């Protein structure tokens, strides 16, 4: 008996150590694995239709599904990325060759501000406008100094990005081809009960679809509308600001308003009343309404995660893991909520079943008493 326990304990320790070693090995390219699984979930229905049409040619079906992913997602993303990078470089070169006179711009804004607003800076201990001008100039200088090495790091990481992209497509091919077998293997190897395993796998799929397909599609719509409005108003770098609005749209509470609202206020204070009013109207009447109308249908409430939890987990995930964090953060939150809510649900179901059994036995007990 003691020997059997020792063997079982040794086996568990061996499993834990090999699992940790495996995680450490794939950790440098965890993003490729993560996005391969995400794309496999998002395009699962399409892949099933292709596999059914080409049965039993699994390799050809998986290859076609990968090509479809490339054409639908990767090619447009690369085109937009290159265009945005070009605008960023243009802005950086302009800042390097021109003096950004924020003091003059703030002086123009100060002329249209009422005395009450100007006096509020002193009352709220925010400092005088002259001090604010110096602070903004220092801030812009720091941003420029920070942007240069960041751009260099992005260039140096291009090779790593290409390797990760190729690895992601390679993994995606095998996930498409062997997805059913992999899913069955996970269910068989899971230490949880089959019901719990199916529940967590279903929750994982729901969160991925809501976070990526729903939120990203909604962000693209809002960012596209914002970029078009910027372009129609003749504002510079409309594609860049549309992309930034799309990124902010991924965050609950903040949303695209974090860009269009300050921009419209700046235009109004700068004396460009028509442009500022048009941007404000477009933000309130189009961008915000699109969010309220489409979010329930695109994202839904299947994740059962409160908005404030999504916001904190998304920001925390991005701070820890970069761009991958906007998916990993909500996934971790969903797993946490699912783990803690499932036992209570099981207890409730067990109590309900016991209550039903007790009610079914009640007539027999009553007859026995009579």
For the segment 346-355, what is each residue's pLDDT rounded down to a tens digit? 544 554 455 4
Q: In this predicted structure, what is the pLDDT of residue 29?
A: 83
Domain count, the chain: 2
Return the higher-pLDDT residue of 349 and 209: 209
300 has a pLDDT exceeding 50: yes
Spatial contact of 179 and 40, defined as CB atoms under 8 Å apart: yes
Alpha carbon 129 to chain centroid, angstroms: 38
Q: In this predicted structure, what is the pLDDT of residue 252?
A: 67
Instruction: Convert the pLDDT of each residue in 98-124 to its tens digit.
Output: 555 555 555 665 565 666 655 655 554
Question: Which structural domain range is residue 262 located in?
Answer: 194-352
Q: In this predicted structure, what is the pLDDT of residue 217?
A: 83
Q: Are residues 230 and 323 in the same domain?
A: yes
Return the higher-pLDDT residue of 353 and 202: 202
179 has a pLDDT exceeding 70: yes
Q: Are residues 105 and 133 in the same domain?
A: yes
Spatial contact of 304 and 180, defined as CB atoms under 8 Å apart: no
Q: Of the residues 180, 203, 223, which one is the last residue of a structural domain?
A: 180
- Asked if the structure places residue 62 within a domain, the reply is yes
Q: Which pLDDT band, with edges at 50, 70 and 90, does 95 fall under?
A: low
Q: Are residues 345 and 198 in the same domain?
A: yes
- Asked if the structure places residue 299 within a domain, the reply is yes
Q: In this predicted structure, what is the pLDDT of residue 169?
A: 92
Q: Which of 27-36, 65-74, 89-98, 121-130 has the lowest mean pLDDT?
A: 121-130
- Asked if the structure places residue 169 within a domain, the reply is yes
Q: Of the residues 152, 180, 208, which one is the last residue of a structural domain?
A: 180
- pLDDT average, residue stretch 177-193: 80
Q: Which of 76-80, 99-103, 313-317 has the lowest mean pLDDT?
A: 99-103
Look up residue 108 and give its DSSP letter. Answer: H
- pLDDT average, residue stretch 162-189: 86
Q: In this predicted structure, what is the pLDDT of residue 347?
A: 46
Q: Are residues 144 and 258 in the same domain?
A: no
Return the higher-pLDDT residue of 105 and 43: 43
Q: Are residues 133 and 216 in the same domain?
A: no
Q: Are residues 137 and 219 in the same domain?
A: no
- Asked if the structure places residue 38 within a domain, the reply is yes
- Asked if the structure places residue 1 within a domain, the reply is no
- Asked if the structure places residue 7 within a domain, the reply is no
Q: In this predicted structure, what is the pLDDT of residue 348?
A: 47
Q: Are residues 232 and 346 in the same domain?
A: yes
How many other β-carbons are positioned within 10 Å of the β-carbon of residue 144? 13
What are the angstrom distances between the C-alpha of 14 and each of 1, 17, 22, 32, 67? Answer: 20, 5, 12, 27, 40
Q: Are residues 131 and 219 in the same domain?
A: no
Q: Are residues 170 and 199 in the same domain?
A: no
Query: What is 233-280 written as a DSSP string?
Result: TT-S-HHHHHHHHHHHHTSTTTTTHHHHHHHHHHHHHTT-HHHHHHHH
Q: In this predicted structure, what is the pLDDT of residue 70?
A: 92
Q: Which of 49-53, 77-81, 92-96, 336-340 has the lowest mean pLDDT?
A: 92-96
60 has a pLDDT exceeding 80: yes
- pLDDT average, residue stretch 216-239: 86
Query: What is 22-71 written as a DSSP string?
Result: HHHHHGGGHHHHHHHHHHHHHTHHHHHHHHHHHTT-HHHHHHHHHHHHII
Rg (CA), the chain: 28
- pLDDT average, residue stretch 213-225: 84
Alpha carbon 172 to chain centroid, angstroms: 20
Q: Are residues 125 and 252 in the same domain?
A: no
Q: Are residues 200 and 345 in the same domain?
A: yes
Taking the C-alpha atoms of residue 230 and residue 239, their distance in angstroms, rounded to an integer, is 8
Q: Are residues 37 and 173 in the same domain?
A: yes
Taking the C-alpha atoms of residue 298 and residue 133, their distance in angstroms, rounded to an integer, is 43
Q: In this predicted structure, what is the pLDDT of residue 351?
A: 45
Spatial contact of 289 and 296, defined as CB atoms under 8 Å apart: no
Q: What is the pTM of this model?
A: 0.69
- Asked if the structure places residue 189 within a domain, the reply is no
φ, ψ for residue 190, nearest 5 deg: -65, 135
Spatial contact of 279 and 321, defined as CB atoms under 8 Å apart: no
How many other β-carbons are positioned within 10 Å of the β-carbon of residue 32? 20
- Asked if the structure places residue 366 within a domain, the reply is no
- pLDDT average, residue stretch 289-312: 70
């Amino acid at each position: 008996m003691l020997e059997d326990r020792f063997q079982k304990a040794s086996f568990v320790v061996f499993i834990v150590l090999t699992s940790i070693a495996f995680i450490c090995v794939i950790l440098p390219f965890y993003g490729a694995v993560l996005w391969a699984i995400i794309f496999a979930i998002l395009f699962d229905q399409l892949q099933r239709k292709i596999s059914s049409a080409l049965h039993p040619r699994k390799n050809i079906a998986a290859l076609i599904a990968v090509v479809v992913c490339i054409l639908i997602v990767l090619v447009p993303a690369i085109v937009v990325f290159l265009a945005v990078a070009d605008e960023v470089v243009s802005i950086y070169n302009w800042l390097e060759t021109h003096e950004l006179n924020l003091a003059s711009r703030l002086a123009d804004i100060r002329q249209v501000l009422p005395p009450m607003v100007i006096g509020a800076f002193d009352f709220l201990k925010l400092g005088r406008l002259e001090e604010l001008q110096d602070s903004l100039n220092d801030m812009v200088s720091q941003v420029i100094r920070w942007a240069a090495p960041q751009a260099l790091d992005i260039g140096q990481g291009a090779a790593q990005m290409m390797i990760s992209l190729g690895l992601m497509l390679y993994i995606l091919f095998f996930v498409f081809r062997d997805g059913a077998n992999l899913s069955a293997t996970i269910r068989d190897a899971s230490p949880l009960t089959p019901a719990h395993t199916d529940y967590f796998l279903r929750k994982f799929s729901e969160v991925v679809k809501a976070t990526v397909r729903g939120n990203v599609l909604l962000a693209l719509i809002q960012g596209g509308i914002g970029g078009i409005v910027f372009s129609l108003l003749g504002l510079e770098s409309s594609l860049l600001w549309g992309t930034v609005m799309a990124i902010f749209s991924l965050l609950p509470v903040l949303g695209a308003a974090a860009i269009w609202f300050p921009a419209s206020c700046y235009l109004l204070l700068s004396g460009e009343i028509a442009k500022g009013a048009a941007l404000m109207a477009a933000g309130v009447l189009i961008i915000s309404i699109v969010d309220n109308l489409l979010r329930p249908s695109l994202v839904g409430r299947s994740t059962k995660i409160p908005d404030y939890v999504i916001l904190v987990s998304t920001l925390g995930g991005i701070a820890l893991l970069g761009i991958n964090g906007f998916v990993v953060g909500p996934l971790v939150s969903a797993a946490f909520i699912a783990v803690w809510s499932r036992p209570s649900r099981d207890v409730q179901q067990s109590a309900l079943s016991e209550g039903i059994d007790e009610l079914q036995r009640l007539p027999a007990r009553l007859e026995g008493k009579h």
